[in-house]
Amino acid sequence: MREPLRTISSFSKLALDEYSAGQNDNIDDFLHIVHKGAARMDKLVKSILEYSTNGLSTSSMSLFSTNDVLSEVLDMLDQSIKEKKVIVKFDDMPVIYADRLQILQLFQNLITNSIKFSASTTSPVIHIHAIQKDKFVEFHVKDNGIGIAKRYHKEIFLPFKRFHSRSEGSMYGIGLSLCKKIVENHGGLISMSSQENVGTNFKFLLPTHAIV
């Protein structure tokens, strides 16, 4: 499915690069629409693939510090953080027993959403902290962004849902659905509380050692 999309995207981009801009504004616009549409479709197909193949292998489980994972995620998102002037704070994080790559993806998705939907009227702040809960750790990823309307709260973890307009960089894909799947793969639960123009808090449980 992705191969024909690559062809459409590549040739529409080639046409944009080769075509003398300004000769026909309509053609320029049409080519941009085709190129952007193919890119969006490719992203959705990739998301479906990630979602369908994301499983948990016991051989990939290990003990590791979430401090290290968060530092790695923040390095990857450094440009976005600087562009939006976001302050990201996290307490001393615990050691957990999990699939490191999946947990990295989990935090990356949640922090990316917080950056993406930060409010323009306040200084964006993301605070991450953890609370020990018997054999699990309860993590919180909290922001002071634009929030999510209450009518969407029950659908937040469903795939391919839109909760904001395109101009706001709509939540459209499987990022949060994948977060839910990752947490549940590890025997935990994830939930969300949010208030419009106040912010959002994602809360989830991850194990500190092998769950028998």
Residues 192 and 123 in one domain: yes
| pLDDT (0 to 100) of residue 152 | 84
- Among the three residues 15, 37, 53, which one is the final residue of a domain in this structure? 53
Residues 175 and 190 in one domain: yes
Asked if the structure places residue 197 within a domain, the reply is: yes
- Among the three residues 53, 70, 90, which one is the final residue of a domain in this structure? 53
Residues 64 and 37 in one domain: no
**Residue 88 structural domain:** 59-207
| pLDDT (0 to 100) of residue 32 | 76
| pLDDT (0 to 100) of residue 183 | 94
Nearest to 54 by CA among 192, 174, 201, 196: 174
Q: Can you tell me which residue has the tokens 């419009």?
A: 196
Burial of 207 per CB tally in 10 Å (0-12, 13-18, 19+):
middle
Asked if the structure places residue 212 within a domain, the reply is: no
**What Å distances lie between residue 149 and 5, 122, 162, 163, CA to CA?**
34, 19, 12, 8
- 65: enclosing H helix or E strand: strand 61-65
Q: Encode the chain (212 residues) as per-residue pLDDT tens digits.
A: 667 777 777 777 777 776 655 566 677 777 777 777 777 677 767 766 766 666 656 567 899 999 999 999 999 899 889 999 999 999 899 999 998 988 998 999 999 999 998 988 889 999 999 999 888 999 999 999 999 888 888 888 887 666 654 444 444 457 888 899 999 989 999 999 999 999 999 999 999 986 55
Residues 110 and 192 in one domain: yes
The phi and psi torsions of 56 (rounded to 5 degrees) equal -110, 120
Q: Considering its fold, how many domains does the chain have in total?
A: 2
